[in-house]
Homo-oligomer: A and B are copies of this chain.
Amino acid sequence: MRVGIVGGGQLARMLALAAYPLGLRCTVLDPAPDACAGQVAELLQGAYDDPACLSQLAQRVDRVTFDFENVPASTARALVRHIPVFPPPLALEIAQDRLAEKNLFRELGIATPPFSAVDTLAELQAAADTTGLPAILKTRRFGYDGKGQRLLKAAADITPAWDDLAGDIPLILEGFVPFEQEVSILALQDAQGHTAFYPLVRNIHRQGVLRWSHAPCQDSGLQEQARDYATRVLQRLDYIGLLAIEFFVVNGRLLANEMAPRVHNSGHWTIEGAATSQFENHLRAGFGFPLGSTDTIGCSAMVNCLGEMADRPTVLAVADAHYHDYGKPPRPGRKVGHFTLRASDPLTLNQRLASLLPEDLADTLLPPDD
């Protein structure tokens, strides 16, 4: 059997590496001739909205999944007419629109920060009054890693922010919440409705970009709440595959920030840190194989390499360190790889991490008894 992946970045690459042992071969569709997943999988070079390419992909493979959520909805809809697609196109469409996503959370009783749709300067001014400042003005569509966002600290920031983003309407204003931490849950559902959940992950972002993750999150009191929220989304969307939901923790409560209908950067630690990786489990769910155990193996820290890879011998000299080079040329800010450290206890993990964490993140190490 063969899995098709729309998008040929690092997520597709790690999916392909997980696919082979399961007896699945892999074809990725990407417009770039040097898409990094093409190093480990068959590459079909072409545009995501080229009907001939989509038809060719559907003929080559047995099921299709996605490397990123901003695949044109029309692409997913076109594919699903010919071949099983996971997760369902509806999940992609909702995740592509911050307003639809927040409205879904609200409809399902999942707490969120305050938010308002914004299509005009007048609406922005009204929304700022309702939400209060600080708040963040965001494009509703195609934003990622902090792109397409403006922080509004005071009333004077409203017009400049509008001027910056007015060309990208529709927009959304989201109240800035003074969170204690950011966490995410990775949830799975298969076609029979079986579910599985990895433990909550603590995520540390800078300028909207994930820098490192720590699993399991030590505030396990939130796990049940996160599972419950994720289950509502899985069920509502007849979801198949892996779903990530990111939350803010505010006053010890979870507020849903956004969801990603795909394998997720905050789940890369599962390659070594869980009995079954998120990549394998996404494929197991999509192909109807039994879901694998999500039990953790000790505790793990996953650190993104931005711009260039961390020094390989330095990382590999640390006990139980695992290096993941995505095979991408260096470029400022680009996610070119990650490494994962594993340990039997948080104290040892912190010691291993301290020597490898970039300096600007030193203050994000939590005391292990926190």
Contact = CB atoms under 8 A, between A and B. Distances in A.
Interface of A: 13, 17, 20-23, 25, 39-40, 275-276, 284, 289-290, 292-293, 295, 297, 309, 312-313, 316-317, 319-325, 327, 337, 342
A284 B316 contact: yes
A22 B295 contact: no
A289 B275 contact: no
A316 B295 contact: no
B313 A275 contact: no
Contacts of A25: 39, 327
Contacts of A321: 292
Question: Which interface residue of A25, A295, A323 has the most chain B CB atoms within 10 A?
Answer: A323
Given A40-B40, A325-B22, A327-B23, A320 B275 contact: yes
Given A289-B316, A292-B316, A322 B39 contact: no
A317 B291 CA distance: 7
B21 A17 contact: yes
A356 to B, nearest CB: 13
Contacts of A309: 23
Nearest to A309: B23
A292 to B, nearest CB: 7
A39 B22 contact: no
Q: Which of A20, A322, A342 has the most CB of B within 10 A?
A: A20
Contact of A275 (B13, B290, B295, B342): B342
Which of A21, A22, A284, A316 has the largest count of B CB atoms less than 10 A from its CB?
A21
20 contacts: A17-B17, A17-B21, A20-B39, A20-B40, A20-B327, A21-B325, A22-B312, A22-B325, A23-B309, A23-B325, A25-B39, A40-B40, A275-B319, A276-B320, A289-B313, A290-B316, A292-B316, A292-B321, A295-B320, A297-B297
Contacts of A313: 289-290
Contacts of A290: 313, 316-317
Contacts of A327: 20, 23, 25
